[in-house]
Structure 1
């Protein structure tokens, strides 16, 4: 069976089939075109068919390949972490904007998962000092492994903590960012598609979807430098509620920013200590 035969016979969408086959063969996309008539070894065909069956059962592509691109970097992904999503790149952009005029800025990423946000900031701003926090030891190990592979030197400090609980209270950050669990516990999407295979604790607070956000908004000012910024990713229908929580806590210049799909995806503000 050739590459062309295997792709033609696949029940997957062609893009997904090509991604899995590139993963199995270790090829680039151009090689699937230039070598499409090459006969494939039986073990390669078997591996592709096994991965295809898992994908057809709903398992995410990122978990099948163990990789996901985010902000121009390739992150390792395991079932212990949330799969980085393109819309979360907005959070990185907002953090970088918040520290653009601050040399050696200190940034805190709460709920780091793969480390995608923290490492992307550290990669874009090598002078910044970045702290990455997660309560999951398994998630922190994934983030540490990604940092060791993607950064030239140790630019990120990793802390196991339930949000800000274990962070040195004397520290002050110019920016705090978080993509917390914000899906309500009764949301039917939790039982659909890729979400079924991701860690539940990274998706939902097992409440109304705002409890983690409330905790972060309440405690973040204790760790922010004067005029420091807090930015949070949230659900498509939560922007108004999050702005209200920020304003009630004393944040100024509170606003929401839209992602490329036009959805209010992140909200934040400044805290004047």
Structure 2
């Protein structure tokens, strides 16, 4: 019997539900759209459109991989973030809506044509930095990552978005080798999951995301201990920072940045009303009265 868009979606949804996937409705739709070269509107307006044998074979492969809990972003090789589409591989974290909180805050009080210099520490796919540059045409950015594979993904994404001429990429260990007081804005989504917690995570994360981008040491705070003073060092006076945190790390990370000399330190909550991003500033230079 010929499979149509509606039956394909219904069948995929049922299989993903049985596999314990947390978002079977959305995932089934995305996989059917990609496999059948269809759009969401096609499923609504032309639900009985038949899939070709090639489409059916592709969909079967996609669904089988998702049943094994491979992330949709890895199956399709892409993921939407903020207002951009990013290429994604196993070498980078899949961009998540929670991280858009970093972008949202960073854009506040960031004049559209300000020639700011932005530093993204642990750039991964490039999600945060590229989303910011897409919104602020006069800004330029530097992305640092210890993974050459991640930098390759970020480089490809910058090129596909037409932003390569405003992005520099550096393989390095956080801020090592960077000059003092050289950036207007520093953003980061560092590894912050405690080592003992990683094995309890969903299979999509535990088995498919790079461990290097997840593990934050015994208490999840190892990287913040390094980053807090270093971010303050490379920020210009009056410069701002925004770093993503785990839901229960607000007090500890705020304290680290305050101890490093940051001012106006606070935590921004995400759309799920969870503590998500610690923000603040480097104290401005004193001016003569």
Q: Name the TM-score class by shorter chain.
A: over 0.9
Q: Which moved more, 1:154-163 or 1:189-198?
A: 189-198
1:116 maps to 2:116: no
SS of 1:252 mapped into structure 2:
strand
Between the aligned partners of 2:255 and 2:275, the Cα distance in structure 1 is 14
Aligned positions, number: 272
Q: CA offset at residue 97 of structure 1?
A: 2.0
Q: CA offset at residue 165 of structure 1?
A: 1.1
Equivalent residue for 2:216? 205
Equivalent residue for 2:20? none
Alignment counterpart, residue 3 of structure 1, candidates 5, 8, 12: 5
Q: CA offset at residue 100 of structure 1?
A: 3.2
Q: CA offset at residue 221 of structure 1?
A: 1.9
Equivalent residue for 1:78? 89
**Aligned pairs for 1:23-34 within 5 A:** 23-34=34-45
Between the aligned partners of 1:73 and 1:61, the Cα distance in structure 2 is 17
Q: CA offset at residue 18 of structure 1?
A: 1.3
1:172 maps to 2:174: no
Between the aligned partners of 1:16 and 1:33, the Cα distance in structure 2 is 16
Contact 1:98/1:175, CA 8 A, preserved across alignment = no
Between the aligned partners of 1:46 and 1:69, the Cα distance in structure 2 is 25
Query: Structure 1 residues 123 and 102 mapped into 2: Cα distance closer, same or farther (>3 Å)?
Result: closer
Q: Which moved more, 1:260-269 or 1:94-103?
A: 94-103
Give CA deviations for 1:16-48 in whole Å, capped at 9, x if unaligned: 111001111222111123332222222211211
Query: Structure 1 residues 102 and 27 mapped into 2: Cα distance closer, same or farther (>3 Å)?
Result: closer
**Aligned pairs for 1:8-27 within 5 A:** 8-10=10-12, 11-12=15-16, 13-27=24-38
Equivalent residue for 2:161? 150
Taking structure 2 as the reference length, what is the TM-score of the superposition?
A: 0.89
Equivalent residue for 1:107? 118
SS of 2:226 mapped into structure 1:
helix
Give CA deviations for 1:190-214 in whole Å, capped at 9, x if unaligned: 5423212100111112432111111
Uncovered stretches (5+) of structure 1, i.e. residues with no partner: none
Q: CA offset at residue 50 of structure 1?
A: 1.4
Query: Structure 1 residues 33 and 132 mapped into 2: Cα distance closer, same or farther (>3 Å)?
Result: same
Alignment counterpart, residue 227 of structure 2, candidates 216, 228, 231: 216
Contact 1:189/1:195, CA 8 A, preserved across alignment = no
Uncovered stretches (5+) of structure 2, i.e. residues with no partner: 17-23
**Aligned pairs for 1:31-110 within 5 A:** 31-97=42-108, 99-100=110-111, 103-110=114-121
Equivalent residue for 2:21? none
Between the aligned partners of 1:56 and 1:262, the Cα distance in structure 2 is 30
Give CA deviations for 1:178-199 in whole Å, capped at 9, x if unaligned: 0000000001565423212100
Contact 2:112/2:135, CA 8 A, preserved across alignment = no
Equivalent residue for 1:133? 144
Give CA deviations for 1:149-184 in whole Å, capped at 9, x if unaligned: 1125511111111111143x2561111110000000
Equivalent residue for 2:265? 254
Contact 1:123/1:151, CA 8 A, preserved across alignment = no
Runs of 4+ with >6 A deviation = none
